[in-house]
Structure 1
Amino acid sequence: MSVDGWNTLLVLGGIRSGKSEFAESVVADAPTVRYVATAPAGDPEDTEWATRLAAHRARRPGSWTTEETAADPGRLAEVIAAAGPNETLLVDDLGGWVTVLLDPAHQPADDTATIAELAAAVRASAARLVLVSPEVGLSLVPTTPLGRAFTDALGATNRAVADACDAVALVVAGQTAWLKPAATPTHPGMPAVPGQADVPAQAGPGQGAAQPSPTQAGAPAQAGPGQAGAPEEALPEVLTPAALAAPASTPAGEPGRPQAGPGRAGAPTQADWAAPTMALPMVATGLVIQPGMELPMPDDYTGPQAVDRLATLDIPGSGLGVLEQVVGFAAATQGTATPTPWGTVRVLLLHGDHEGGASAGATPGESARRARQARAGKGALARLAAENGASLQVVETPTSAPIEEGPALTGEQVESALRYGWRLAEQAADAGVQLLVLAACGAGTETAAAAVLAATAGAEPPAVLGRVLNERGEYDDAAWMVRCAAVRDALHRTRRSTREAKDILAELGGGDVAVATGVLLGATARRIPVLLDGPVGVAAGMVSRDLAGQARHWCLLPDHGGRPGVRLAADVLGLTPLLDLRLDLGEGATALAALPLLRSALTLAAGLPVHPSLGGGDDEDFTEPEPAGPGPTSTDPEPEFAEPEPAGPGPTSTEPEFTEPAPVQGPTSTEPGPEFAEPEPAGPGPTTVGPDEPVAPGRRAD
């Protein structure tokens, strides 16, 4: 049996239930797959049947080989029995096999014996084997003798093969239920089973009903490093800092205060990181994380398209400057030329100390206090996460042994840590997370990262190891020299090492770097971009190059933080730091501080229109703002110049603009007035008369 709990799997399902697609997803990442087709060719005139067969063939990758057994039903057992331990077989399906078995052309035949031979071959199979079969036992009993014979034979076949297989899954309407689970997977296409931690792995091929596990019997489950058969533990709790920022006086049990419980990272009952997983597509096929994995790459076209599109936007200035890199990165990882700001963000804070000289100068218990602080929604990282609406997951990683004396981790611990990191990325992807922020807070993490950089980039330890700052804000150069000496001795001890990825993690990197590497690989597999912030993240990026070179293309470095090791790793990985804030608030805080700026750049890139000269909206799209006060209701065009309205009440008539002024009040005689009349003013005059000028009877005030 494979290390992840099952070697043979039977997939049951009704017509068009998605059983074949599910079975194909299980073996999709195997290096080679032998597809065993059991269905007969059928009537040449039956175009619908031919279309079904063609659809099945079209889904198979080009690397798969096809083998047909329709000519002889007994040959299926022979093919399964002859398959080697390094092969992966997909048999689709047993319904077609039973059809051939009952074909009069193969009669007389001992159906019972042939089914027994098939079950025996499945039970003894050394290959990775997945069989697909229709489930017809839930339908009505057929009314014809041939239909009853088919359902009886298929029911007997399913029953015998299910008993021989390590695991059985039932697919109904595209949803999978595990009827006989072994260590069930959690990656897409292989959904996890609630409470799976209570289900033990099968002891071996052909084992019957599973015996109660220690957990089921009431005994505590035990899991140690590298224990492949141990039950899978729950991942750390995902925290929401804004909801957890409660006063210290909040009584235990009230909302807003986290409680300790099983599986919580704050009070782990066992080594969660060491639990086995089938979240990896490679593990689902019996393989492990290994060098040269082929993982997805960002889109090669949408990134440059998005950057070129920025030059067409209606921007008054020269553009976004260095933030154009953010737009190109988001476009490539989202697969669109108009990327949108990341909505759902999760921070992974890895906590794991390094013993020996790597942690020289560190305050004992300080890293654990920081981890507890983050869980409580306090501290710089949690506050910035709350401001950005990001969730926070504090992850306990294995403690690393002194690297100057021996390996930091065992080989089994490295494998478990890599898988654990992959599971964290899988969990984030299943929760809809669009961006991961990778951070660490362990004692000696910078020293371990410097050792990894020195081993992978050929750098001298003093050149990549930053100075040690104690809790009083003073530089401790003596502690810095001890750390440099620890890295020097570790490099000398491993001078004959192969410098392969897993060897570097075991000898130098330790638990936090190994888990971070698994996170990068899992995020790459699920197409989730990652913000790196600090030495641990870039060290994981250096190691991941040998495992999957695609991982670095899903990483973005907002700031180097003034750390020499980060500068060097960024140069090797081809990551250009966007900012130079030189914040020193702990790993992850700088990335969260820069996140609003990165989101703003994406908002502008997605929301601004194209400039009118390049085909965007023109000036006609803009309307004249309405006046503050009431205006005329007429739609006639206004004259070029209009007489301003008087400040006081004016006439209501429509008399001409200028009239002969009335005579000034004088004597009551009838003599004519003076020969001289006052000339008309050149411009508009006062609209009222002064207090010293009496108005003659009948004259209006102009």
Structure 2
Amino acid sequence: MSLDGWNTLLVLGGIRSGKSEFAESLVADAATVRYVATAAGGGDDDAEWAARIAAHRERRPATWNTEETADDPRRLADVIAAARPEETLLVDDLGGWVTVLLDPAHQPADDTVTVAELAAAVRDCPARLVLVSPEVGLSLVPTTPLGRAFTDALGAVNRAVADACDAVVLVVAGQPVRLKPATPEPAPAAEPSPGRSPVNGTAVPAQAGPSDARPADDAAALPASPPVTTPEVPAAAAPVPAADGTGRTPPAMTLPVADTGLVIQPGMELPMPDDHTGPQAVERLATLDVPGTGLGVLEQVVSFAAATQGTPTPIPWQSVRVLLLHGDHDGGSAAGTPDGESARRAESARAGQGVLARLAAESGASLQVVTAPTAAAIEDGPALTAEQVDAALRYGWRLAAEAVDSGVHLLVVAACGAGTEAAAAAVLAATAGAEAPAVLGRVVTPDGEIDDVAWMARCAAVRDALHRTRRASRDAKDVLAQLGGGDIAVATGILLGATARRTPVLLDGPVGVAAGLVSRDLAGQARHWCMLADHGGHPAVKLAADVLGLSPLTELRLDLGEGANALTVLPLLRSVLALAAALPPRPSGEAADDADEPEPVEQDEPDFREPEPAGPGPTSTETEPPGPTSTEPAEPGARAG
């Protein structure tokens, strides 16, 4: 068949379809070929696989040079990117490459980034390039998690590479069928689809991209992204200028969002912070010229920033966005809250007034007020429908993605809805087995008085909701639908979207920690990108922080409203990072001192002698000469001497 006009080509085919032979025939006329072998050896216990590899080697002409990438799958993109225009490369095959990529020996890793790097290298390759890959889309769904993880990952890789290549050919029973026409100009490349990565060495299938599931219309349930405002600082305080983010690790996950039908479901595989840079940053602190014992508990701020920025010398977060979630809860959850109070606070924030707006202005942070769906009374029925939960999760994901795309380095979750504390208590009771009265804070009226009647009404609402759902599923989406509500669902989407884009989130209230609890079932990596500013003495926040493994950075017992507490602590966190980044190393002075000091004079070591015993006894170090009485037994009643 004629395949003129291509520079990069993907050859797909099933097992024993003849795809490798066809690919080799395409480059047979080249003077020399760089054959890139991706599969790992089968070992001594797999003779059949070793025989297959040997057959491939014997089939290659002597003029071909073989290069293997099984030890480091990320090197494949480097080999392709470094190829020269006059070279010809044959990569066989991507199935072996995915197998090595999913190997626990190469984890934890951001496999999605590796796939994206490979697609980018193929798209920009100046050499003549042929890639071979198995086609798994026509087979049955594997019955094991490991098998499903492999097929999911390989399908994502095939899509990404096919988009990047000039032409694609499918080989069936030795007969090539052209799928993508070869044209002189490559077609515009779509965003590479994400791959999969195993968790703790065990591959788990996870759908983190578009699927054949019914796409939901987010606009029907939630409004478009609200405008972002930067409140003005009243007299004498100037906003902190935003930085350009130099030195930070760029976002690594570019998954499709609401308008492409993103499916958020349990088992999603998202990035983890860097395992090494956090400890390296703490070790570096010990070498700085600090006149005291160091930063104390605030060392964890430096460690967290280093891990999330991917560098042992993190810099302060300059571009910060506050996402204020306004979503009320009907029924007994909101007992004791004045009508219209949450709406008044939301409007005040939009107008740049109130505690949250003032603190945001002082910190140079942008403020975005987000309207979440109102939750129904949980004591009577579900708070949201399943469709509303899906839409709210995607909406939160989109909010985080838009923030990162605009240059935001840190997100702050805030909330001002009525009944949020009771909803968070219900989520905590359902996911961590807590008792509602133990995690539900006291109700305080606007006059500063404690309203025990309202508190009891909230406890009753949570109790009835838990009784109603006692036989219901406790997975993430069901908890959001039955107990959580719109604000917690949107907050959960924000945490997931921020995690996908490698962006940290600062929490300090019940909505944020409740979202952290729910997100564990959707993507366990999300909690590692969260930082707790202050628990504020709130029982639900304290218990949720313990469950999530989040240590509060301060214990100021602030009660300024969720989000405002975090902004109060933010200048301190920035100061710690600025100090850690700017301080010079502690001067040792050892080299200069050694040049001036005289050489030490050798002295004879003192002769050590055992101390003499005070009297005769078994501790005596002297040995008596043997005598005739030395072996004779002592007479009865005689004293031992």
TM-score by length of 2: 0.62
Range with greater deviation from structure 2 (399-408 or 540-549): 540-549
Partner of 2:556: 581
Contact 2:423 2:484 in 1 (8 A): yes
| Identity of matched residues, % | 63
| SS, match of residue 347 in structure 1 | strand
**Is residue 54 of structure 1 aligned with residue 94 of structure 2?**
no
Contact 2:278 2:306 in 1 (8 A): yes
- Aligned-residue offset at 1:378: 1.0
Q: Could you say if the C-alpha distance between residues 406 and 48 of structure 1 is closer, same or farther in structure 2, counting changes exceeding 3 Å?
A: same
- Aligned-residue offset at 1:487: 0.4
Q: Deviations over 1:249-300 (max 9, x none)?
A: xxxxxxxxxxxxxxxxxxxxxxxxxxxxx97459899872222222111111
Q: Deviations over 1:85-111 (max 9, x none)?
A: 99765366585557999xxx98xxxx9
Question: For the residues of structure 2 that align with 1:616 and 1:135, how far apart are their CA atoms?
Answer: 67
Partner of 1:43: 28
- Aligned-residue offset at 1:353: 0.3
**Is residue 326 of structure 1 aligned with residue 311 of structure 2?**
no
Q: Could you say if the C-alpha distance between residues 14 and 461 of structure 1 is closer, same or farther in structure 2, counting changes exceeding 3 Å?
A: farther
Greater radius of gyration (CA)? 1
* Matching residue's letter, 1:532: L
Match of 1:439 among 407, 414, 431: 414
Partner of 1:396: 371
Contact 2:313 2:580 in 1 (8 A): yes
- Aligned-residue offset at 1:546: 1.3
**Is residue 237 of structure 1 aligned with residue 227 of structure 2?**
yes
Equivalent pairs, count: 451
Question: For the residues of structure 2 that align with 1:528 and 1:474, how far apart are their CA atoms?
Answer: 40
Question: For the residues of structure 2 that align with 1:356 and 1:431, how far apart are their CA atoms?
Answer: 38
- Aligned-residue offset at 1:516: 0.6
Q: Deviations over 1:156-207 (max 9, x none)?
A: xxxxxxxxxxxxx724xxxx6xxxxxxxx89999xxxxxxxxxxxxxx99xx
Partner of 1:607: 582
| SS, match of residue 325 in structure 2 | strand
Contact 1:39 1:96 in 2 (8 A): no
Question: For the residues of structure 2 that align with 1:470 and 1:403, how far apart are their CA atoms?
Answer: 23
* Matching residue's letter, 1:62: T
Partner of 1:290: 265
Question: For the residues of structure 1 that align with 2:446 and 2:396, how far apart are their CA atoms?
Answer: 31
Partner of 1:351: 326
Question: For the residues of structure 2 that align with 1:573 and 1:46, how far apart are their CA atoms?
Answer: 60
Contact 2:254 2:501 in 1 (8 A): no
Contact 1:610 1:616 in 2 (8 A): no
**Is residue 170 of structure 1 aligned with residue 160 of structure 2?**
no
Taking the TM superposition and a 5 Å limit, the aligned residue runs for 1:210-359 are 226-227=216-217, 234-242=224-232, 280=255, 288-359=263-334
- Aligned-residue offset at 1:230: 6.5
Question: For the residues of structure 2 that align with 1:418 and 1:493, how far apart are their CA atoms?
Answer: 24
Taking the TM superposition and a 5 Å limit, the aligned residue runs for 1:202-213 are none
Partner of 1:518: 493
Q: Could you say if the C-alpha distance between residues 357 and 133 of structure 1 is closer, same or farther in structure 2, counting changes exceeding 3 Å?
A: farther
Partner of 1:449: 424
- Aligned-residue offset at 1:241: 1.1
Match of 1:380 among 355, 359, 376: 355
Question: For the residues of structure 1 that align with 2:455 and 2:409, how far apart are their CA atoms?
Answer: 38
- Aligned-residue offset at 1:574: 0.9
Question: For the residues of structure 2 that align with 1:98 and 1:226, how far apart are their CA atoms?
Answer: 34
Partner of 2:43: none
Question: For the residues of structure 2 that align with 1:232 and 1:519, how far apart are their CA atoms?
Answer: 14
| SS, match of residue 367 in structure 1 | helix
Q: Could you say if the C-alpha distance between residues 321 and 95 of structure 1 is closer, same or farther in structure 2, counting changes exceeding 3 Å?
A: closer
| SS, match of residue 447 in structure 1 | helix
Q: Could you say if the C-alpha distance between residues 357 and 232 of structure 1 is closer, same or farther in structure 2, counting changes exceeding 3 Å?
A: closer
**Is residue 568 of structure 1 aligned with residue 543 of structure 2?**
yes
Match of 1:500 among 463, 472, 475: 475
* Matching residue's letter, 1:235: S
Q: Deviations over 1:201-236 (max 9, x none)?
A: xxx99xxxxxxxxxxxxxxxxxxx954797996422
Taking the TM superposition and a 5 Å limit, the aligned residue runs for 1:360-379 are 360-379=335-354
* Matching residue's letter, 2:386: G
* Matching residue's letter, 1:43: A
Partner of 2:395: 420
Match of 1:136 among 173, 184, 193: 184
Partner of 1:466: 441
Range with greater deviation from structure 2 (399-408 or 365-374): 365-374
The alignment yields a C-alpha RMSD, in angstroms, of 4.2
- Aligned-residue offset at 1:53: 3.1
Partner of 2:63: none
Taking the TM superposition and a 5 Å limit, the aligned residue runs for 1:658-697 are none
Contact 1:279 1:422 in 2 (8 A): no
- Aligned-residue offset at 1:381: 0.6
Partner of 1:628: none
Partner of 1:686: none
Partner of 2:144: none
| SS, match of residue 346 in structure 2 | helix
Q: Deviations over 1:587-618 (max 9, x none)?
A: 11111011110011111111111111288999
Question: For the residues of structure 1 that align with 2:194 and 2:591, how far apart are their CA atoms?
Answer: 42
Contact 2:216 2:261 in 1 (8 A): no
Structure 1, unmatched stretches of 5+, are 1-12, 21-33, 66-75, 119-131, 139-168, 177-184, 190-203, 206-224, 247-277, 619-702
Question: For the residues of structure 2 that align with 1:549 and 1:611, how far apart are their CA atoms?
Answer: 39
Question: For the residues of structure 1 that align with 2:576 and 2:551, how far apart are their CA atoms?
Answer: 17
Q: Could you say if the C-alpha distance between residues 97 and 412 of structure 1 is closer, same or farther in structure 2, counting changes exceeding 3 Å?
A: closer
Contact 1:611 1:617 in 2 (8 A): no
- Aligned-residue offset at 1:47: 3.5
Contact 2:262 2:394 in 1 (8 A): no
Partner of 2:522: 547
Q: Could you say if the C-alpha distance between residues 379 and 615 of structure 1 is closer, same or farther in structure 2, counting changes exceeding 3 Å?
A: farther
* Matching residue's letter, 2:501: R
Partner of 1:487: 462
Contact 2:443 2:450 in 1 (8 A): yes
Contact 1:535 1:566 in 2 (8 A): yes
- Aligned-residue offset at 1:512: 0.5
Question: For the residues of structure 2 that align with 1:517 and 1:541, how far apart are their CA atoms?
Answer: 7
| SS, match of residue 61 in structure 1 | helix
Range with greater deviation from structure 2 (572-581 or 234-243): 234-243
Question: For the residues of structure 2 that align with 1:135 and 1:232, how far apart are their CA atoms?
Answer: 43
- Aligned-residue offset at 1:459: 1.1
Q: Could you say if the C-alpha distance between residues 466 and 61 of structure 1 is closer, same or farther in structure 2, counting changes exceeding 3 Å?
A: same
Question: For the residues of structure 2 that align with 1:359 and 1:231, how far apart are their CA atoms?
Answer: 22
TM-score by length of 1: 0.57
Match of 1:410 among 385, 392, 404: 385
* Matching residue's letter, 1:503: D
| SS, match of residue 369 in structure 2 | strand
Contact 1:406 1:507 in 2 (8 A): yes
- Aligned-residue offset at 1:368: 0.9
Q: Could you say if the C-alpha distance between residues 84 and 95 of structure 1 is closer, same or farther in structure 2, counting changes exceeding 3 Å?
A: farther
- Aligned-residue offset at 1:54: 3.0
- Aligned-residue offset at 1:501: 1.0
